[in-house]
Structure 1
Amino acid sequence: METIFIGVLLFVAACAQGAIGFGLGMLAAPIIALMRPDLLPGLILLLAFGFSLATWARDRGAVEWPVVGWSLLGRVPGSVLGTWAVVAMPVAGLKIILAAAVILGTLVSLVGWSPGHGRKNSFIAGASGGFLGTTTAIGGPPLALIMRSMSPERVRGTLSVCFVIGSAISIALLTGAGALESMHLRAALLYAPAVIAGFFLSSVVNRHLNRRLIFLGSVTISLIGSVMVITQAAGIF
């Protein structure tokens, strides 16, 4: 039953990701953290790598390459620090970081301000995204914040390149540190069909459903899941 529930959750999260630009990590990770914290961050990182490859193929003509370059320079030290955190910190601490990342992502999606995507901001966003992405598999919010002035197509294209390369960096570091195991790969292969189906369904969703309602529903579920993760980590329930 747990396996089916997580599969349905990832299907919905992937559909939301393809339709509104976020969901795979922010929507699924908090709930998976409550049920199977041992699967994180490896499962979401592996699935996000494949999902981002598909998005890159779809939006490959709309990429802001200077942002990609500078953010990836920052991604490396951020990912190294994140790998240390995964190895050294207790599970409860990582759960709180995950919940904080989701709340940050929600706030970023709601505000209209952007600091711009110059070299310094791209580097800082890449570093913070590298830390969050490696510890929680939710590395998008800092990058999304600096890209708010771009078109939706350019945001998706640029983020997908950053996620593909950035996820590969995090996966390599976590594997080297012994924090990503064959269990995570088996789980990713098990749930990959659900994510693939969600990706293709997102095209239908974009044409026929209200994206604003999908956004509000995803944000609500993400926030509820984050609060539950924090209370669980604090030993409240």
Structure 2
Amino acid sequence: MIIIGVLLFVAACVQGSIGFGLGMLAAPIIALIRPDLLPGLILLLAFGFSIATWVRERGAVEWPVVGWSLVGRVPGSMLGAWAVVALPLVGLKIVLAVAVIVGTVSSIIGWRPGHGRRNSVAAGAVGGFLGTTTAIGGPPLALIMRSMPVERVRGTLSVCFVVGSAMSIGLLVSAGALGWEHIRVALIFAPVAIAGFLLSGLVNRYLDTKAVYRGSVAVSLVGAVAVILQAVGVV
């Protein structure tokens, strides 16, 4: 529990700094030690943080991206809810790890697909599926918005996450994959995560957000590889 608390503190700080990262950074490590908490714990915390980020960045939202991404989010989230119920735990771990690896590698190589209508719908669908199954729905949307200023990325992602997380939470509750235990644990960790989010204001002011992103990517990749090794029985 201490390890998860420290991890969520750091991940919440990254989320507040670059607009996403709570799931990408925390989910692989949590999958190694308490996979039963996923994706519910991250989704519940992300929902709260997304509201806070939206309030802070309310003047920097790319509304066309929000609208078209939510068109894709509906079927993607429904498919994700089915996968959580149908796939075994090992399968979900591998989906989580592959999502982290593909998302980070696509970002590292500098791919900039743009945020037009088609790409926004596609990113919303992929983000909906991954957000519901693994709580890592940010990278597809962040990828198509790479050309935007970081504050506009934070603002746009926050709105997408508020609606998308609420949708995923509702579907998982209906499917019986998110219950009171997830809510209880989310409430326990909420103060730690809030402290990390508040610290992100100082990070945005004094640290290079690109350096923060590169560091989070490195940790995420290590965690994703460890999840795959554990899933196949190597560790």
**Same-fold call, TM > 0.5?**
yes
CA contact (8 A) 1:30 1:99 kept: yes
2:129 alignment partner, one of 131, 156, 170: 131
Q: CA deviation at 1:149?
A: 1.9
Matched, 1:30 2:21: no
Matched, 1:144 2:154: no
What secondary structure, in the 3-state scheme, does the structure 2 residue paired with 1:179 have? coil
Q: CA deviation at 1:23?
A: 2.2
What secondary structure, in the 3-state scheme, does the structure 1 residue paired with 2:24 have? coil
Q: CA deviation at 1:142?
A: 1.1
Alignment partners' CA distance in 2, 1:142 and 1:133 = 10
Q: CA deviation at 1:121?
A: 1.1
The corresponding residue for 1:14 is 12
Q: CA deviation at 1:210?
A: 4.0
Structure 1 residues 74, 86: CA separation in 2 closer, same or farther (over 3 Å shift)?
same
The corresponding residue for 1:173 is 171
Structural RMSD (CA): 1.2
How high is the TM-score relative to the length of structure 2? 0.96
Structure 1 residues 120, 160: CA separation in 2 closer, same or farther (over 3 Å shift)?
same
Size of the alignment, in residue pairs? 235
Matched, 1:183 2:181: yes
What secondary structure, in the 3-state scheme, does the structure 2 residue paired with 1:168 have? helix
Amino acid across the alignment from 2:129: F
The corresponding residue for 1:203 is 201
How high is the TM-score relative to the length of structure 1? 0.95
Structure 2 stretches lacking a partner, 5+ long? none
Amino acid across the alignment from 1:10: L
Alignment partners' CA distance in 2, 1:157 and 1:180 = 27
The corresponding residue for 1:65 is 63
Alignment partners' CA distance in 1, 2:189 and 2:3 = 11
What secondary structure, in the 3-state scheme, does the structure 1 residue paired with 2:147 have? coil
CA contact (8 A) 1:104 1:141 kept: no
Alignment partners' CA distance in 2, 1:211 and 1:117 = 21
Alignment partners' CA distance in 1, 2:19 and 2:58 = 15
Structure 1 stretches lacking a partner, 5+ long? none
The corresponding residue for 1:79 is 77
Amino acid across the alignment from 2:203: V
Alignment partners' CA distance in 2, 1:117 and 1:212 = 20
Alignment partners' CA distance in 2, 1:12 and 1:230 = 23
Alignment partners' CA distance in 1, 2:145 and 2:91 = 29
Q: Deviations over 1:43-66 (max 9, x none)?
A: 000000001111000001111111
The corresponding residue for 1:42 is 40
What secondary structure, in the 3-state scheme, does the structure 1 residue paired with 2:23 have? coil
Amino acid across the alignment from 1:167: S
Amino acid across the alignment from 1:80: M
Q: Deviations over 1:90-126 (max 9, x none)?
A: 0000000101111122123323232221111111111
